[in-house]
């Protein structure tokens, strides 16, 4: 299965709701993730530019995109990103293939 990194920043309203009713957000989203064939690998709260970091597994890009669209459209986040991840082996294969790719720069 493919891995994806979710990065998000909660809105002040979402933080206020969580303060009023604290709840493990991983457990809250787990059923939705699993219904789409996914698995939560790990999740962290953070401080700084982003509030949450979650690594998920999904069987395909469409499943990951569906979840990303659903969560991103909820209004709970002021910033929300889904980043496809490559294993080290996949990254090395991509780098190796790039060595054989012919690219012509614009203007040439």
Specify which residues 36 forms β-bridges with: none
Kindly report, residue by residue over 11-32, the tens digit of the pLDDT.
999 999 999 999 999 999 999 9
Query: Which residues have CB under 8 Å from 76's CB, separation 6+?
Result: 10, 11, 13, 14
Tell whether pTM > 0.85.
yes
Distance CA 74, CA 50 (A): 17
To the nearest whole number, what is the mean pLDDT of the chain?
A: 95
Domain residue ranges in the chain: 2-99
Strands (E), 11-64: 39-45, 52-58
Distance CA 19, CA 58 (A): 30
CATH H superfamily, domain 2-99: Dimeric alpha+beta barrel (3.30.70.1060)
Distance CA 45, CA 76 (A): 15
């Amino acid at each position: 299965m493919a891995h994806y990194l979710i990065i998000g920043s909660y809105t002040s309203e979402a933080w206020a709701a969580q303060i009023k009713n604290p709840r493990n957000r991983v457990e809250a989203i787990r059923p939705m993730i699993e219904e789409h064939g996914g698995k939560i690998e790990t999740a962290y709260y953070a401080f700084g530019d982003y509030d949450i970091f979650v690594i998920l597994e999904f069987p395909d890009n469409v499943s990951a995109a569906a979840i990303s669209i659903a969560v991103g459209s909820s209004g709970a986040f002021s910033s929300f990103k889904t980043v496809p991840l490559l294993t080290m082996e996949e990254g090395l294969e991509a780098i190796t293939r790039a060595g054989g790719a012919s690219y012509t720069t614009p203007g040439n």
